[in-house]
Structure 1
Amino acid sequence: MTSGRGGPGQAAAVRSAVGQVHTAGRVKDCGETLQFSWPGVYFEGRFRGTGVGVVLDCAAADYDVQVDGATVATLVTPGDTTYWITGLRDGEHAVRVVKRNDTPGETSAFGGFVAAPGGAVLRRPAPRDRQIEFIGDSITVGYGNVPHTDACDPEQVKRNTNSDVSHGALTARLLDADYQLNGFSGLGLVRNVAGIIPDITYRTYYDRALLDVDGDVWQNPGTWRPRIVVVNLGSNDFSDLTPGEPWTPDGLAVAYRTAYDEFLRELRTRYGSGTSLVAVGFDRNAEHVRKVVEARNDAGDRGVHYWFLDQAGLDFLGCDGHTSARDDRLIADRLAPFLRSLPTGW
């Protein structure tokens, strides 16, 4: 098998229709391309032949290309290209492309799959019966989760972030579910890490497909109806206060609980009573999240559940003290049984 930007299909390549691709991510259909911003967005297809081209236009993010379940290439900021995987056994194959990291200041574009000469792109894979949405910050993204020995400067964080082995992606695969990873590093519900950019929060961006487009609103095609939504927000809200910030510890706690309650109400309105909402308690936010869940239950919403992210056994060897890929596997192994126990009919 060989791979690269050139190849036998370069001269005759015709972009496949986006209708031949399965994705559950938040994308904007622009006709020949799908635009997207969130981490972990994936595109799945099928083809017959000895090779496949991946059509991308992105100079900011990294991607893994997987054929028949195995990663065959990692594309680092590939630019505007058709990247070819060739020399495969002649026959039917599954192909998957996944965005590895978070690049909220950029819009990426995917133009479909192209079969090598003599082959064909086949009907797109069927969606999975189960859907899970993960909402959170850097821990949800999988920030710097590929362990390494060098210092974590911004470029190394990008190279060592792999959302495809984040705990959300792994949990979804354990449950055979399609998923969205709507994670945004550094942001909180009312306050961001170290008090940065005080005029925005995670909620500024949650409704968007394209994060860098002010006012953008993702248009749900009607196929995204998750039975489980997992919320893990608060680590940044309760990061150490810095001089000059207007918050007091008590005032921050009250504002956080109020915003969390409002956000859960918004999710309930968006997805209806049949969706289980899972609020994750982690580190300094745990007790506040538990109180919010109790309040929602007392108000009659029994579909809101609390899950404590136990740190026992985690090594936090990811960049800047974040969870490692090993940790993400441990978390997924703990979270999946809890989600399986919820009254979803799964």
Structure 2
Amino acid sequence: MEESIFLVQPGIYKAQGRNSITVNGLALDCTGSTFEFAAFCKGDVTLGIYVDAPEAYENRLYFSVYIDGQLLEPREKYGFGGTRKTEFVLARDLEEGYHTFSIIRQNESETGEFCIRYIMLTGRLQTPPRDRERYIEFVGDSITTGIGNLYTPEARNPSIDPKSKVYQDGTQTYAILAARRLRADCSVVAQQGIGIICGWQPHTMLETYEMTCYQRNRRADWNFIRQPDFVVINLGSNDMDKIEENGKTPVDVQAGAVRLSRIIRGHYPSAGIVWAMGMIGQQLCPYLRAAVEELGGAENGYYYLQLESDTAGGGGHPSLAGQRRNAELLYEFLKKLYEERA
């Protein structure tokens, strides 16, 4: 077998999440964005990548890497910073045979840009993994991107912000954990600080949902080709933080939730839409439940799920234990809906 370089192009890989081919390669823009491929190979496997992210340890880009279904450790080995084109050795000294590879982004878009340019290996690529039968989209804020979920008082470093990327793993949230249990592909559309109608960001989900990636290209809309079975929304915490400052009321948030739901249904006419609420604060829960009722409830494919509050993670965000508990609640809820659809 000879060493070969394979430029990243459609047909040689499977991707999950909103992504696009750019001048720097395949951009993995969002939390949970995934690049998967398979090869019959041996020896080292290397990716050509482009990175544009903070160099500081606490704000680097982090990835989960799986080879043949096994998660590689330690996490710190798969953190990237700086601005450069470089190579990343994904695996070393593999035995000759069939192998699968998966790279999953842990942090959200605003952390920086990460693109995959080529695959270099000794061997040949195989047919990439197939799309799974089930597919779920998640729309949310820092709860869904996993801010603070790795933080514990015991592991606290006084010099590092509890909300920093060191303590964030977006692959260990209620969303992606539930999707894994359901054996579903997934896409995450989320950003810390964002709200339905207001929040800590200068933009809202109503304004940015239809974009591929607001942080990278505000002129590129997503294609909405692959249709999810369900869209799970967890928004409202940041609206509540900024509601008075922006002269809004909970009823305004309710109206925004109805509008966002209808935008999503316009792109995904057959998808069930689930508002899964309550992980940080529950003041808006009655209004978001009312929004679901206004939309026609379960009869029209709109659902409400009450989640458990947990603020034991970094910066008052859900802890890993809290994310796992709510993943179980969401799993059971969606499992029942899937069974009803069968």
Superposition TM-score tier, normalisation by shorter sequence? 0.7 to 0.9
Q: 1:202 aligns with which of 191, 201, 205?
A: 205
Give 1:138's aligned residue.
Answer: 142
Which of 159, 173, 187 is the matching residue for 1:180?
187
1:114 aligns with 2:120: yes
Distance 1:44 1:172 in 2: 17
Counterpart pick for 2:94 among 88, 92, 99: 88
Across the aligned residues of Structure 1 and Structure 2, the Cα RMSD in angstroms comes to: 2.4
Counterpart residue type for residue 70 of structure 2: A
Q: CA deviation at 1:112?
A: 4.4
| TM-score, normalised by the number of residues in structure 1 | 0.84
More deviation in 43-52 or 331-340? 43-52
2:300 corresponds to: 302
Q: What's 2:291 paired with?
A: 292
Q: Specify the alignment match of 2:58 in structure 1.
A: none
Structure 1 letter corresponding to 2:189 = N
- 1:183-239: CA deviations, max 9, x gaps? 11001011104xx53xx212222111132222221223x2x1101000111000012
Match of 2:39 among 43, 47, 54: 47
Could you tell me how far apart the structure 1 residues matched to 2:336 and 2:148 are?
A: 30
1:335 corresponds to = 330
Q: 1:340, CA displacement in angstroms? A: 1.1
Does the 8 Å contact 1:231/1:278 carry over to 2? Answer: yes
Do the aligned residues in 2 keep the contact of 1:188 with 1:237 (CA within 8 Å)? yes
The 3 A distance-change label for structure 1 pair 106 and 31 is closer
Equivalent residue, structure 2, for 1:3: none
Residues 224-261 of structure 1 show CA distances to partners (whole Å, capped at 9, x for unaligned) of 1101000111000012667xx242xxx42121111111
Q: Deviations over 1:132-176 (max 9, x none)?
A: 000000001111211231248459611221111111111100000
Q: Please list every run of at least 4 consecutive aligned residues from structure 1 whose deviation after the TM superposition is greater than 6 angstroms.
A: none
1:267 aligns with 2:264: yes
Stretches of structure 2 that go unaligned for 5 or more consecutive residues are 54-60
Deviates more, 1:275-284 or 1:128-137: 275-284
For the structure 1 residues 189 and 32, does the alpha-carbon distance in structure 2 shift closer, same or farther, using more than 3 Å as the test? closer
The answer to which structure has the higher strand fraction is: 2
Shift in alpha-carbon separation, 1:151–1:233, aligned structure 2, 3 A? farther
Q: 2:319 aligns with which of 317, 324, 336?
A: 324
**Count of aligned pairs:** 319
Q: Which blocks of at least 5 consecutive residues in structure 1 are unaligned?
A: 1-7
Aligned-partner SS, 1:128: coil
Amino acid at match of 2:156: T
Which amino acid in structure 1 is aligned with residue 115 of structure 2? A
- Counterpart in the other structure of 1:280: 276
Percent sequence identity is 24
